[in-house]
Structure 1
Amino acid sequence: MIALRKGRYIAREARDEDDLAAACALRARAFALAGAQDRDAHDDRCTHILIEDTTDGALVCAFRLFAVRGADLADSYAAQFYELSALEAYEGPMMELGRFCVAPDRRDPDILRIAWAALTDYVDAHDVQLLFGCSSFAGVETDRYLDAFAMLRARHLAPKRWLPRVKAPDVFRYAAKLRRKPDVRKAMMRMPPLLRTYLMMGGWVSDHAVVDHQMNTLHVFTGLEIGAIPAARKRLLRALV
């Protein structure tokens, strides 16, 4: 069971239906969705991690984890949008990270730090070798993110042997369409924080973005092979555990 503390924050696993309901309510707020909760059929099979502020008891961050072997990929959330048959040959344990969100009124970087520490603890405990998920850009308009997508194309595309293929009906094939040299400053300003962290650790992405009108996002499949994380970054993450 995860139970970590950093400063005023504590990370723990959800224990009951009330915890899950609180996480789903936070997701609805963070993703600006209609309704009191964001909940789907994947929630019941996942482990949910909550980050709470010990000074007021507020839930400030939540995400869910789903342990996967090759044959289980079809049951993952990402498989709804990406053709993942290439990854079925991946031999090691995999884990899907999903619905990562931070309360809209919170900007403390310690929240992201303890979230990654909790994730590192879980990955180590379960010998996870590949972490994957969908990294989202807010909105469905591509123009404001062209430098970010150009940088993904230039530096961060998935290895060909693991590259997800197109499955969703509405996609932006940025790797095929963009030939511009990215403005690095603009690219990093537009890059979602979660994706930025993945990339700093050596993560890679699909060659297309899915246009998800239901969630009002553009998202890319994101993979991170744990063995490829630079040693210095591993030490930083594990220092928090």
Structure 2
Amino acid sequence: MLDLAKGRYRARIAVSGDDLEAAQRLRTLAFRGPDAERLDRDDFDETCTHVLIEDIGSGALVCCFRLLRLGSGAEIGRSYSAQFYELSALAAFDGPMVEMGRFCIHPDWHDPDILRLAWGAMTALVDRDGVEMLFGCSSFHGTEARDYSDAFALLRDRHIAPKRWLPRVKAPAVFRYAARLRRKPDLKRAQAKMPPLLRTYLMMGGWVSDHAVIDRDLDTLHVFTGLEIRAVPPGRARLLRAVAG
């Protein structure tokens, strides 16, 4: 069981239908907006573990994400990401894996401790289960690729997946940024446009697909993101484990 605290926040596992519905409501607000007519939910919710981060004082849910455990890459076809990316290369990965999905922070909350605690919770669960790879879809808001040209150029130059794991195109609508972009990135603009979750993945040694999927349902562009746990720099691993307790 997970029960972590940092400052004014705590992280725990969802244990009830009400917990799951609270996560779905936050996801709806974050991904679909306050006027959405339907709750953000899908069949993966029933097979995933859901992590909730709450404000201790008020009990408000400020962040959530879900985890799907896989015994090895042989099970990669069960993942949410496999709907959008051709992941047969990862079928050869022989260690335990976890897919992190639907990560979101309440749009009215901007405390960096929320993201720190989220990664602390993830670290605790990864260590507990002996996970060797963490993966998922990292999302840019909106579907206009030109809004993120510098960020995509930086991903192209520094963070494309190793060839042995590289996801291939499967979705009908994609932006092949690694092939199409010719500009050199402005590093300041690239970092400013990079989603915080993806930025943290990259700081830990993560890598991405060479194309972005255009997801009009959620109004996002997303890249497949992978992180081999043994590649995390020792100093950063120590910081994460300090939060994980």
TM-score, normalised to structure 2's length? 0.97
| Equivalent in the alignment of 2:148 | 145
Q: How does 1:1-241 map to 2 (within 5 A)?
A: 1-33=1-33, 34-68=36-70, 69-241=72-244
Distance in 2 of aligned mates of 1:24 and 1:71? 29
What is the rounded CA distance, in whole Å, between the counterparts of 1:138 and 1:85 in structure 2? Answer: 27
Q: Which secondary structure does the structure 2 equivalent of 1:161 belong to?
A: coil
Q: Secondary structure at the match of 1:116?
A: helix
What CA distance in whole angstroms lies between the structure 1 residues aligned with 2:113 and 2:38?
Answer: 27
Deviation above 6 Å: which 4+ runs of structure 1?
none
Q: Distance in 1 between matches of 2:68 and 2:77?
A: 12
Count residues in correspondence: 241
2:48 alignment partner AA: C
Q: Quick one: which amino acid aligns to residue 26 of structure 1?
A: L
Q: Distance in 1 between matches of 2:32 and 2:219?
A: 9
What TM-score results when the alignment is normalised by the length of structure 1?
Answer: 0.99
In structure 1, the gaps of 5 or more residues are none
Report the AA paired with residue 67 of structure 1: R
Following the alignment from structure 1 to structure 2, what is the Cα–Cα distance between the partners of residues 35 and 73?
32
Quote the Cα distance in structure 1 between the aligned partners of 2:112 and 2:73. 34
Q: Distance in 2 between matches of 1:234 and 1:70?
A: 24
CA contact (8 A) 1:97 1:133 kept: yes
Identity of counterpart residues, as a percentage?
65
- Cα distance in 1 for partners of 2:93, 2:74 equals 10
**Cα-to-partner distance string for 1:157-197 (whole Å, 9 max, x where unaligned):** 00000000000000000000112110000000000000000
CA contact (8 A) 2:74 2:93 kept: no
CA–CA separation in structure 2 for the residues paired with 1:54 and 1:117: 17
**Cα distance in 2, alignment partners of residues 112 and 87 from structure 1:** 27
| Amino acid of the structure 1 residue aligned with 2:21 | A
